[in-house]
Structure 1
């Protein structure tokens, strides 16, 4: 019996709906939950039969106190729980590590000449959104087919109108050039309606309309137009044939399947749009919640982001808080949302399909884990490490002539990138281009925090040779970590030439480890070398991206510091709106004045500053 069980009095907790927080050592929030009846829910954690979840005994052994917050309704408890989970990120709550949302296609029919945009955030702004799409490649393929059939504009009208003639897309028949008056507004609107119908899955409606227009054109002996319409029909039919029909009756649905095995549970989410399966996403979670609570938590965390919410969500089991979830989802979507646990028919078959996808994803993930373990074991053996490098970190420094110096840390867990654990460091104490001093500062900050938080890597890879490795070894000795963390340095391959300078070869990547004079050479193309190179490249990419971002901010700040009315917040808004100084300089006065929150006099002063007083 834990200390908490000995001292807790369940009778003092209310029977109202609300949220409960479980605190551990140093007041760290371990778990946040909600309940219709707080007392009954908390009693289940201490019942003789147990809660039924494998990790609950481990959780309760760490809990030191429980705090409750009463709400008026279950829906209010749901919203509050979401807020507290985002604030505290408790260890035992569900955590969707991959927080990247899928791409969607946006079209605003209120524009004079609507255009298609790819976005990751779905907002309630009156525009139409289609998707989600599993990858950028899927979006590009979709847009390529659409532009061939319905040639909408590709760029803002104002940008195109500054050109003397239509762009290349018009020349190859993938833009109708409304910016130069090559199509009437009415004809362009008919193209837009065709795009909306096609993206909505109403291909028969589009094909029927095109066939009718083709017949009329043929009767009037406009054979070129009839041939063009015929090609559009064929393109649509070819595109539709590649789609997999998932169910009869159409409609937009998200379908969820669960597969639990051992101490983990795989969640598969299928995207059904107009009866067609357009994508799949899977998540692996520790099985620390019962299925009802885990599924409810998943729905709250996934749909709390800026994603498309369909009218119907199919789930494999009844949810105790389905009514509150439906109300919350309906408010986010702006229309009614139903959560259905089907028992028969086509909808049940869709759920069974999702369950099979979850099981298959778990099996494939297991294969990748086995392969990763073999690669990590090979790295341990070849580099003579004391332990299997389950958590690997790599550091890199980036600057240009000593300015805007930054450091980066990329992290691989069990051989796979863990972007949520990546960190960026803006150098505080180093001036100029001193890579060794910069690396020392970054390492001291990372490892010092790791000692405090109890989270250290098994293995550190440094992008560099003996010099950078010496800095790393000195920092580990200073912190007393030389026996706890394995290290190595990876140096880029060198270009070699023979005595006459005619035959040029590139050497293999070289790996340096402490206490060894000669570098270790791994076979080119080997999985172990590929993994280490991938880790190094991730750290380099992350450092370069942060460095460019700081340079862009500094450039726009220096360009705008002398403009009256342009303060810190407005500079940030300009950078966010235009993206760079170059794009800001390319914008005309009307585009700058149209930016939200930009007064006309300030826009005129800014334009004059960027282009010279005589060009306003």
Structure 2
């Protein structure tokens, strides 16, 4: 694909006009760049010359497009073989470059699935996220981990399938608590035969595939037969299973009869903001819903927002055979072609006007409308608190990004620094960061030194990645857990890095370390406090508590990992499977360190070369 580019000190439609003679009507993707070569917009075109010619006209544009044209100093072009390739390339570039004038989906995490493992005689049922590399049957996606956990709990209650790991399964000698509360059939201790357990697994998979009605009828027949044979205990167990199945179905709320596998996607726009609500319908069951708030411009319409959303949403995951939409999109034929290629079979885009599918869209639209209203109300409240923060501490403007820092350790051991972020949309959890304290020269428990290391690493990276401060990653305010000492340390760091325009405040517990008596420290200014009933004080307490919670969680995870670590972790070539085999064979890492070569090679998966490496690792230590 040829790449054509040029730069010019001028901007506007005349600059764009100059590119027309170098273009033909091939399909492709174009990028509009400003004077600093920052990407303003990425677009696709069925015919590049015709599309760019529209931008070269001096008038007839919406305010957003006119502003974008005025800022355009250069353009780049990539031709493609087909229009579908152009659509796919456009969405990839938008996600990678995040241009200011494009609709941008800000949350593209993968969705969890339910996995029925096939690597064991008694299959495990569990939550799975990420690449589908493990052998087994996958069911999903589910809208959230909570939706998966609810379904797993229901499946355990109905089918009594195990959720323990294979290692736990092999080590058990008596049933666990789940057996006692009738959530597991205890295959680990032989309380159920492999044939009966396999039948339960088969029933669970039939339920996940949508065969619940037939399954209930089958269970009802089995219950009647057991009752006639006077097997009352078995009949009661089957009755409980039928009741649990009924409860599962009623708890799901939406269970469309005529929609077996589809995503229901509805868009609501208001006040320059947008909410997209996605419902996952699988096996005629509702597997949860999730809302998204894409970044949009002030004069953008529904078809453009929805088309951009679809392209970015399905970039990381497979689409279902049916996608039910609230609005038509502009390039439906291209989107259908692109999604069908990804799925490997035909994908339908539907905009229903009546019937059950229209009712599904109406429900999704109602959710989108209500979710956006809540978000706008919360945003107004958050903006008011941020403005109050600026008034309380004489800041130049209300901060749009506040970073809060805290440390966690036990007498200096397993020290972790934590950064949480808050803005007009509340806590931005995707931007939280933890820092494993590396400083070998730090005195154990040196909070000043830890804070210095964390902030130095944070801002050195910011300066390296965004020296011109063009992104939203630069904070407008820092809140530090601590008093005058921490503030003094932070000032030294900022002075050393040449940063003099990022205000910071130390939040100390104050008199008697009592909640509500916090003292606030700022460089060169007297200590101050806020009234106990001041909403800004409550806001700061909430910010500090969130940083403390995140820091403690990161510390505990690090400590737990250290507790479970063994010397085997340091040997190249010894992964989790071989580590388990060695520990199972010898009983402990200490016993492995004392083993000779012939003993090591007797372990499954350990060849002579790896045995020599393990032997040398321990004996080289002396």
TM-score range, shorter chain: 0.7 to 0.9
Q: Which moved more, 1:60-69 or 1:468-477?
A: 468-477
Task: Choose which of 300, 311, 327 in structure 1 pairs with 2:321.
Answer: 311
**In 2, distance between residues paired with 1:309 and 1:253?**
8
When structure 1 is superposed on structure 2, of 352-361 and 394-403 the one drifting more is 394-403
SS in 1 for 2:81: coil
Distance 1:420 1:116, change over 3 A: same
**1:453 alignment partner, one of 441, 458, 469:** 469
- State the shift of 1:266 in Å: 2.2
Partner Cα distance (2:549, 2:583) in 1: 28
Distance of 1:598 and 1:170 partners within structure 2: 34
> 2:413 and 2:247 mapped to 1: Cα distance?
54
Question: In 1, are the aligned partners of 2:42 and 2:99 still within 8 Å (CA)?
Answer: yes
Whole-Å Cα distance in 2 between the matches of residues 184 and 558 of structure 1? 37
Report the counterpart of residue 124 of structure 2 in structure 1: 115
Q: Does 1:300 align with 2:311?
A: yes
Match of 1:462 in 2: 480
Matched, 1:184 2:193: yes
Distance 1:587 1:14 in 2: 68
**Structure 2 match to 1:259:** 268
Q: List per-residue Cα deviations over 1:549-587 (Å, max 9, x = no partner).
A: 777888899824774xx1xxx47xx37x89xx8x79766
Using the alignment, how far apart are the partners of 1:184 and 1:427 within structure 2? 51
Q: Give deviations 1:427-471, integer Å, cap 9, x for gaps.
A: 677731343344345435545626632454322111111111222
Aligned residues of 1:106 and 1:127 also touching (Cα < 8 A): yes
Q: CA deviation at 1:375?
A: 2.3
**2: CA distance between counterparts of 1:559 and 1:124?**
28
Q: Match of 2:293, SS? A: strand
State the shift of 1:303 in Å: 1.7
| TM-aligned CA distance change 1:163 to 1:405, over 3 Å | closer
Decide which moves more: 221-230 or 58-67: 58-67
- Alpha-carbon distance in structure 1 between the residues aligned to 2:134 and 2:438: 41
For 1:116 and 1:322, locate their aligned partners in 2 and report how far apart those are by CA, in whole Å. 38
Deviations 1:117-162 (A, max 9, x none): 1123363766433344444444333222221221112223453222
Q: Residue 62 of structure 1 is aligned with which of 71, 95, 110?
A: 71
> How far apart are 1:174 and its partner, in Å?
2.0
Q: Aligned equivalents of 1:96 and 1:598: distance in 2?
A: 45
What are the Cα deviations for residues 312-340 of structure 1, in whole angstroms up to 9, with x where unaligned?
11123333443443344344445442222
Is it true that 1:531 corresponds to 2:539 in the alignment? yes
- Secondary structure of residue in 2 paired with 1:298: helix
Structure 1 unmatched ranges of 5 or more = 497-505
Q: Answer yes or no: is 1:106 the counterpart of 2:106.
A: no
Mapped contact 2:143–2:280 kept (Cα < 8 A)? no
Asked if 1:435 corresponds to 2:443, the answer is no
Aligned 1:381-530 pairs, distance under 5 A: 381-398=391-408, 407-414=417-424, 416-425=426-435, 431-433=441-443, 434-444=446-456, 446-447=458-459, 449=463, 452-454=468-470, 456-476=474-494, 484-492=501-509, 506-508=514-516, 510-514=518-522, 517-523=526-532, 527-530=535-538
Shift of 1:599: 6.1
TM-score, normalization by structure 2: 0.81
Does the C-alpha gap of structure 1 residues 142 and 174 become closer, same or farther in structure 2, counting only changes over 3 Å? Answer: same
Aligned pairs for 1:310-389 (under 5 A) are: 310-389=320-399
Between the aligned partners of 1:382 and 1:17, the Cα distance in structure 2 is 55
Secondary structure at 1:113's aligned position in 2? coil
Task: Find out whether 1:80 has 2:89 as its counterpart.
Answer: yes
In structure 1, C-alpha distance between the alignment counterparts of 2:226 and 2:373, rounded to whole Å: 55
Give the Cα–Cα distance (whole angstroms) in 2 for the partners of residues 408 and 429 of structure 1: 15
Contact 2:406/2:548 (8 A) holds in 1:
yes
1:272 positional shift = 2.5
Mark the runs of 5 or more structure 2 residues left unpaired by the alignment. 1-8, 590-599
SS of the residue 2:468 aligns to? helix
What is the CA–CA distance in structure 2 between the aligned matches of 1:522 and 1:141, rounded to whole Å? 43
1:13 and 2:2 correspond:
no
TM-superposed CA distance for 1:224, in Å, is 0.6
The 3 A distance-change label for structure 1 pair 523 and 275 is farther
- CA shift for structure 1 position 211: 0.3
Decide whether aligned partners of structure 1 residues 562 and 9 sit closer, same or farther in structure 2, where only a CA change above 3 A counts.
closer
* Cα distance, 1:532–1:191 mapped onto 2, change above 3 Å: same
Q: Secondary structure at the match of 1:153?
A: coil
- Root mean square deviation of aligned Cα: 3.9
Residues 105 and 295 in structure 2, CA contact (< 8 A), matched pair in contact too:
no
Partner SS state of residue 520, structure 1 = coil
How far 1:391 moved relative to its partner? 1.7
For these two proteins, the number of residue pairs brought into alignment is: 584
Q: Deviations over 1:463-490 (max 9, x none)?
A: 11111122234445666765x4433211
CA displacement at 1:245 relative to structure 2? 2.9
User: Contact conserved, 2:113 with 2:139, CA < 8 A, in 1?
Assistant: yes
For residues 578-593 of structure 1, what are the structure 2 equivalents within 5 Å?
none
Return the offset for 1:357.
Answer: 2.4
Give 1:602 deviation, angstroms: 6.4
C-alpha spacing 1:588/1:126, structure 2 compared with 1 (3 Å)? same
Q: 1:202 aligns with which of 193, 206, 211?
A: 211
TM norm structure 1: 0.82
Please state whether the residue corresponding to 1:55 is helix, strand or coil: helix
User: CA offsets, 1:342-393, max 9 Å, x none?
Assistant: 3443323322333332222221111111221232233334444443233211
Residues 294-303 or 528-537, more deviating: 528-537
Give, in angstroms, the shift of residue 425 of structure 1: 4.8
Stretch of structure 1 that moved more, 33-42 or 269-278: 269-278
Distance 1:232 1:394 in 2: 50
The 1:285/1:86 distance shift into structure 2, 3 A limit, reads closer
Instruction: Give the Cα–Cα distance (whole angstroms) in 2 for the partners of residues 384 and 347 of structure 1.
Output: 54
Give the C-alpha shift of residue 217 in structure 1. Answer: 0.5
Partners of 1:372 and 1:587 lie apart in 2 by: 54
Give me the whole-angstrom Cα distance separating, in 1, the residues matched to 2:280 and 2:527.
54
| Alpha-carbon offset, residue 195 of structure 1 | 1.1
The alignment partner of 2:224 has SS state of helix
2:107 maps to 1:95: no
Deviation at 1:256, TM superposition (A): 1.4
For 2:228 and 2:509, locate their aligned partners in 1 and report how far apart those are by CA, in whole Å: 69
Which whole-Å deviations, capped at 9, do the CAs of 1:399-444 have from their partners, x for residues lacking one? Answer: 6666776544322111611234434556677731343344345435
8 A contact 1:376–1:415 mirrored in 2: no
Tell me what 1:33 maps to: 43
- Taking the aligned partners of 1:225 and 1:611, their CA distance within structure 2 comes to 57
> Partner of 1:286: helix, strand, or coil?
coil
Shift in Å, 1:218: 0.8
CA contact (8 A) 1:149 1:232 kept: yes
Preserved CA contact (<8 Å) 2:161 2:201: yes
Aligned mates of 1:251, 1:561 — CA distance in 2: 47
